[in-house]
Structure 1
């Protein structure tokens, strides 16, 4: 009789427990699963290091169950930031996947202000780029063999002191950041015993006038880089400031651009006639003599 009574009590407890699960816990679980929340989702692929723009993400509503705590829920929190890893269409963005600063390998491209430009030149032989020893911040001179078909090897006055802002391998990875992924290390090991990538291009910070000359040298396939200075930024800036003065002297701003509109009829004739013929020819003759 006691055994039957215990079975009845146990059965009653099971019934009560099942009712509790069906009418209490299950609705709460369903409510949590069906509860909607807003997250930021990727709608266009974003490569590592690229800036996240408005057209690459959108805000959507999804079920809030089992979402990571650090998922980004507002688009304002990601627009203008930089991807630390590749983001694929459909991914939701975690705070650990974005950064306020661009990746080290291309941070220098985001520091351009419009006064100067970044231009890359090819390193076609190991010796042309200082045997792979160039790094960002170096000051170099650009040597031009048979400059403009004149038969002499010169350092153009426009390219006496130029700042290096990037050294890039043929894979597209910068070689002077000190950051390498495991995949890159395996690829590098095939070409180099110590796993270091050899530079294929050097990116220089130049003025528009310097960029045109570098484009000519790149087209001819004849240039050589020599290291002038490596060290503190303050001292390096002295070289680039001196180069800027040379550029301003070789390519003066026409007086008509500096004068007021009322003065243009009186000043537009004389200065332009004096400056125009001397700009392209004077530097070449001076350097050819050197």
Structure 2
């Protein structure tokens, strides 16, 4: 009889629990699932490093259950930021996939003001590019083998100290920028190196690229302050090699203008 009573009690408890789940817990769960919330969703393909604009995103209403806490809910939060990962159409945007500044390899591309240029050269072999060890911010020297087919191997004065912007693989991935890759990402060998150069330096680089006989040697890797010193030293070398037109014009005009009144230009129409 005691066994029967125990079974009856257990059965009653099970029935009560099932009723509680059906009419108590389940409605609450369904209510939480059905609650809607607004989030920011990708409307156009966004590549890593892209600046996010208004037309790239949209507000979408979705179920609030199971959403990550760091999902972005307002477009003002993302517009003007930079993507730190590739985003596909329909993706939710998490704050971990945004950056206030361009990625390391693209920083200079957004700050070029016309005085310097970004130029890539091909790494013909693994050894030519320092065996894949170059990083953004490194100072390198460009070594030209058989320079201008004269049989001599030299470092052109224009390319004694050059700053590395990025090292890029054949698939377009910017490697060695100081950013840590996922453990699942396979390491690719560098294919090109992008350098920050003046217009005069770019012409010399183009010639070496065409000849296909350039090597890169690491000169310095360290603090931005010391890096700037190498760049300043190179700029002084370039100024000596390529005096500006303004300086040439001033030097030519100085003797003629001493103690004399400048003449009116012929086209001014002054009689």
TM-score in terms of structure 2 length = 0.68
Alpha-carbon deviation of 1:38?
A: 4.0
- Contact in 2 for aligned 1:160/1:243 (Cα 8 Å): yes
Trace 1:167-246 onto structure 2 (pairs within 5 A).
167-171=167-171, 172-177=173-178, 179-184=180-185, 187-188=186-187, 197-246=188-237
CA RMSD of aligned residues (A): 3.8
Alpha-carbon deviation of 1:46?
A: 1.2
Q: Measured at CA, do residues 125 and 252 of structure 1 come closer, stay the same or move farther in structure 2, by a change above 3 Å?
A: same
Partner of 2:245: 254
- Contact in 1 for aligned 2:160/2:234 (Cα 8 Å): yes
Separation in 1 of the partners of 2:182 and 2:163? 27
Partner of 1:84: 84
Partner of 1:127: 127
Higher helix share: 1
Q: Secondary structure at the match of 1:44?
A: coil
- Contact in 2 for aligned 1:43/1:57 (Cα 8 Å): yes
Q: Measured at CA, do residues 168 and 31 of structure 1 come closer, stay the same or move farther in structure 2, by a change above 3 Å?
A: closer
Q: Measured at CA, do residues 92 and 265 of structure 1 come closer, stay the same or move farther in structure 2, by a change above 3 Å?
A: farther
Unaligned runs of 5+ in 2: 1-18, 251-261, 266-271
Alpha-carbon deviation of 1:244?
A: 0.9
TM-score in terms of structure 1 length = 0.65
Q: Secondary structure at the match of 2:120?
A: strand
Alpha-carbon deviation of 1:240?
A: 1.1
Alpha-carbon deviation of 1:119?
A: 1.6
Separation in 2 of the partners of 1:133 and 1:112? 25
Separation in 2 of the partners of 1:111 and 1:40? 29
Query: How many residue pairs are counted as aligned between the two chains?
Result: 234
Alpha-carbon deviation of 1:108?
A: 4.9
Alpha-carbon deviation of 1:241?
A: 0.5
